[in-house]
Amino acid sequence: MLQETITGDQSARSWADYVVPQCWESFTVDDHAVWDLLFARQVELLGTRVVSAFLDGIDLLKLSHPGVPDVEGLNAILEPRTGWRTVAVAGLVPDDVFFAMLSERVFPVGNFIRTREQLDYLEAPDCFHDMFGHIPMLAHHDYAEMTRHVGELGVAAIVAGEGHRAARLYWHSVEFGLAKEHGELKILGAGLASSFGESHLSLESDEVERLPFSVRRAVNTPYKHDAFQPRYLVSQSLEKTIAGMLALTAEELLQL
């Protein structure tokens, strides 16, 4: 996930400085049980309320295998497929680092999992949010390329002092986007796909706004990073959003 405010030193800093060993063997029996509990609960909750590419990705990447996935095992399937790989990080990374990773087809995943006592409350995205929410879609070739492109846009926007534009674009699609599929409203974003509380709310609540997605609207719509979203942007289709995002240049992003 991203933070709305771009802060910190934007000088030359390598994303590799933020990579840590996953230390998969350090996950306890209870950590693995928490993953299994979250996985079973979320798959049942989502059913077919999520874009089909997400469910395809779960199968392709064998994420239903019990226990916290190990980064190397995941990469052994993901990297030959779309060129993406995951790396472990200790927590939220700064936006410039995050976008630089995406631009090189690297996705950071937390090297920790929430506790059983905090199943539905997260201060920082853990490996369940990152691996269950994000990684399945990175097995989809065009979506994977779109995500890389968003990384490039993010790097350029931050250099121009306009990082919030890319952050909003990312937020309203990759993180909290909805999408139509065969006329039905589906979850697209990882923040929704991995959330027990917000997945149904985003689709079914009468209390939230749902507006058609466009890159212009996404870039100009602020978001909340510490609460359920008051509004969601709905893609006409996954394919149209991918095409629209891939067509967006960094120069255009700064003008929208």
- Mind telling me the catalytic residues? 129, 134, 175, 194
Taking CA atoms, 50 is separated from 12, 120, 213, 215, 238, in Å, by: 38, 19, 17, 21, 11
Pick between residue 20 and residue 247 the one whose CB is nearest to Fe ion: 20
Contact region with Fe ion (CB under 5 A), list: 1-9, 17-25, 80-88, 154-162: 1-9
Quote the least distance from Cβ 70 to Fe ion, whole Å. 20
- Counting residues that bind Fe ion (by CB under 5 A) gives 2
x/- map, 190-229, Fe ion, by CB under 5 A: x---------------------------------------
Closer CB to Fe ion, residue 6 or residue 190?
190
Nearest CA to 88 out of 23, 19, 28 is that of: 19
Rounded CA-CA distance 49/162 in Å is 34
Which residue has 């929410």 as its token pair?
Answer: 133
Residues near 236 by beta carbon (within 8 Å), at least 6 away in sequence: 179, 180, 212, 213
Using Cβ positions, the residue closest to Fe ion within the complex turns out to be: 1
**Please, which residue, 126 or 181, has the CB nearer to Fe ion?**
126
Write the DSSP string, 58-104: HHHTTTTSSSSPPHHHHHHHHHHHHS-EEEEESSPPPHHHHHHHHHT
Name which of residues 117 to 146 contact Fe ion (CB under 5 A): none
Q: Give the chain's length.
A: 256
Kindly tell me which of 77 and 122 has the beta carbon lying closer to Fe ion: 122
Q: Which stretch binds Fe ion (CB under 5 A): 57-65, 76-84, 187-195, 203-211?
A: 187-195
C-alpha 45, offset from chain centre: 19
Q: Are 213 and 233 in contact (CB under 8 A)?
A: yes
x/- map, 147-186, Fe ion, by CB under 5 A: ----------------------------------------
Contact status: 74 vs Fe ion (CB under 5 A): no
Q: Quote the least distance from Cβ 194 to Fe ion, whole Å.
A: 8
Q: Which of 1, 63, 137, 157 binds Fe ion (CB under 5 A)?
A: 1
Six-digit token pair at 147? 């995500």
| Interacting residue ranges for Fe ion, rule: CB under 5 A | 1, 190
